[in-house]
Structure 1
């Protein structure tokens, strides 16, 4: 078959004509997911038990997104196993009571959005119930005492209003509304969340989102000037896309486009056109940040789905071409490193989840 010849040529470093490129492009995310399964622990349902807990929720999301896009159901057994094993009370946070209630609101947010996607794939109400219970848990940490609202990040200390927890909550509430006929409850909360967020000051003058807010002694908060992590720029795009589906308010898309364009044209976040995490320059990304870029492109793709003309298709294609050619492990060909501009550095689960989300976004 012609596409098999294209795969063979690509493996040898040869060229692939445009007419033959599409089937090969569809194979890349599957091959990356199959490689990611080398991290999977059937016993506890985690992709790398040693990695931060939320990374498994993100790997699960990337795998579910692939199935949603392609119609495949190949990885449903792993997904069911992960939900079953990891919905129990957590050893380090048994007071959460299970159902993905963790000691930081953003951890819960990642799992709740994966639950929404699993509901989309299966129609099983249990997964929507997980998402509803997690929404209630996250919202229980909404506080008007500081910053005039917003959800706190760290539950034990009841501290820090940050971007990611509030972006995840916005996306979750809007997603629930869009899947529950006749809902007004979750729509009201999604609108409340967005009104607070857009007025919080976290969106800076460059249309980028800093990490969070600093609180003054009088309870007034302002942008803390923290790092503009790529996932902070990403999740808000998916959240605004979901809220737009609910309201058809085009101002939401205008705001999202400004943020997305700020990233894709930024000499800091997209030097030479390749998405780059700020921590890559000094190799300080740790165990969390290597997953962030995949989250950005996942949500950029979700925004693109509600925009005419696929405005970010070329940007996504540039990322996949660079990562595939410059950031793959030479011995396996299906494991990816940190820097999509290359060179490949090391095998690690957060890096791989990011690459999977990129390859899925480009489908």
Structure 2
């Protein structure tokens, strides 16, 4: 039986994670973050405006988000020209998309969502309404694939095949619509879409009994709720993370504490999981039969980015020590002499990879923003 998630006051009652770590000086974290971003930018290919054009396109969207988060946090403008160059090139029509549509409209709803969120950050930084317009255009494009004919709603992931209602597309859309509302004075349009999106996702069954989010739904061609079931597929860390960002934005929009309480339930499930946080260190569930690949290496940084967003919204900053512990562990173990980071933060450096580096940069920025 599928039950809607119930709100609880866990955000207010759960005490901080106890550690014996000393708090690093902000200047040391800043230096480490700058060094990691400079290492990240060795992947950058200026002619294409992408970080490593040989890997999936959405990766450049989250790399862009990371450097824009750094820009917003520090006030530095060192990377703003690079960001503008990336956007200018990448908004052009894509050769691999049959209709050649530009402005970040891709053949999957999640790819479009990553870029749209980065555009909103660029709008916040520059005040240039062009970036807001593109994000709104992307939202409208994504919403075309919110299909009520299966599982009573929700976004599909693959546009060419009109198939698979998964978590990441739907939680990205939640964060996007709530963020649009919070950036547009007097808006009700995007708020209503965001509230509807959360209502559907919350009752979809993708949030399991442990308060962790599985990858998607079985998605038969039916509106029968008894067969639109959680597929019990991987509990990827980025699915747990992006929903936190959406719930924080909904709390900001409505003032409803319940959204933060639900976010804490999900975050606590990750922090307390023996699989996802063994020894208190965030770990992706990669195995020989379920490999991370380049995609999976980026997921932990996405989680940490949104966990920091939730942490900032809580009066007690209850996740600060978890974030700090992960950063110190990663810096001490997974970094090589050139400020590249491995994919398993509690293990020695295991090779240079764009996903691993973006993830590390996101964790460093999350730590840099701690009080």
Please confirm whether the aligned pair reaches a TM-score higher than 0.5, indicating the same fold: yes
- Give the counterpart of 2:273 among 260, 263, 266: 266
Alignment deviations for residues 33-89 of structure 1 (CA, whole Å, 9 cap, x no partner): 011110001111100010100000010001100111111111001100000000011
User: 1:238–1:20: structure 2 CA closer, same or farther, 3 Å change rule?
Assistant: closer
User: 1:22–1:138: structure 2 CA closer, same or farther, 3 Å change rule?
Assistant: same
Distance between the aligned counterparts of 2:24 and 2:350, measured in 1? 30
Specify the alignment match of 1:114 in structure 2: 118
Distance between the aligned counterparts of 1:285 and 1:216, measured in 2? 27
Q: Tell me, yes or no, if structure 1 residue 97 matches structure 2 residue 104.
A: no
User: 1:201–1:362: structure 2 CA closer, same or farther, 3 Å change rule?
Assistant: same
Distance between the aligned counterparts of 2:57 and 2:23, measured in 1? 41
- For the residue of structure 2 that corresponds to 1:319, the secondary structure is helix
Cα deviation for residue 300 of structure 1 reads: 0.4
Cα deviation for residue 90 of structure 1 reads: 0.9
Cα deviation for residue 283 of structure 1 reads: 7.8
- Give the counterpart of 2:168 among 164, 169, 172: 164
- Give the counterpart of 1:53 among 43, 57, 63: 57
Distance between the aligned counterparts of 1:49 and 1:345, measured in 2? 22
Report the count of equivalent residues: 345
Q: Tell me, yes or no, if structure 1 residue 318 matches structure 2 residue 325.
A: yes
Distance between the aligned counterparts of 1:79 and 1:22, measured in 2? 25
Alignment deviations for residues 157-215 of structure 1 (CA, whole Å, 9 cap, x no partner): 00000000000000000000000000010000000100000000000000000000012
Specify the alignment match of 1:328 in structure 2: 335
- Give the counterpart of 2:354 among 344, 349, 355: 349
Cα deviation for residue 237 of structure 1 reads: 0.1
The answer to whether the 8 Å contact 2:150/2:220 transfers is no
The answer to whether the 8 Å contact 2:156/2:163 transfers is yes
Distance between the aligned counterparts of 2:85 and 2:323, measured in 1? 31
Once the two structures are superposed, the pairs formed by residues 56-75 of structure 1 within 5 Å of their partners are 56-75=60-79
Cα deviation for residue 18 of structure 1 reads: 5.8
Specify the alignment match of 1:244 in structure 2: 251
User: Greater helix percent: which structure?
Assistant: 1
Specify the alignment match of 2:45 in structure 1: 41
User: 1:281–1:259: structure 2 CA closer, same or farther, 3 Å change rule?
Assistant: farther
What do you get for the CA RMSD once the two structures are aligned?
A: 1.4
TM-score normalised over the length of structure 1: 0.93
Specify the alignment match of 2:153 in structure 1: 149
Cα deviation for residue 361 of structure 1 reads: 0.5
User: 1:20–1:287: structure 2 CA closer, same or farther, 3 Å change rule?
Assistant: closer
Cα deviation for residue 231 of structure 1 reads: 0.1
- For the residue of structure 2 that corresponds to 1:154, the secondary structure is coil
Specify the alignment match of 2:217 in structure 1: 213
Specify the alignment match of 2:9 in structure 1: none
User: 1:18–1:217: structure 2 CA closer, same or farther, 3 Å change rule?
Assistant: closer
Q: Tell me, yes or no, if structure 1 residue 304 matches structure 2 residue 308.
A: no
Structure 2 unaligned blocks of 5 or more = 1-20
TM-score normalised over the length of structure 2: 0.91
Distance between the aligned counterparts of 2:293 and 2:255, measured in 1? 39
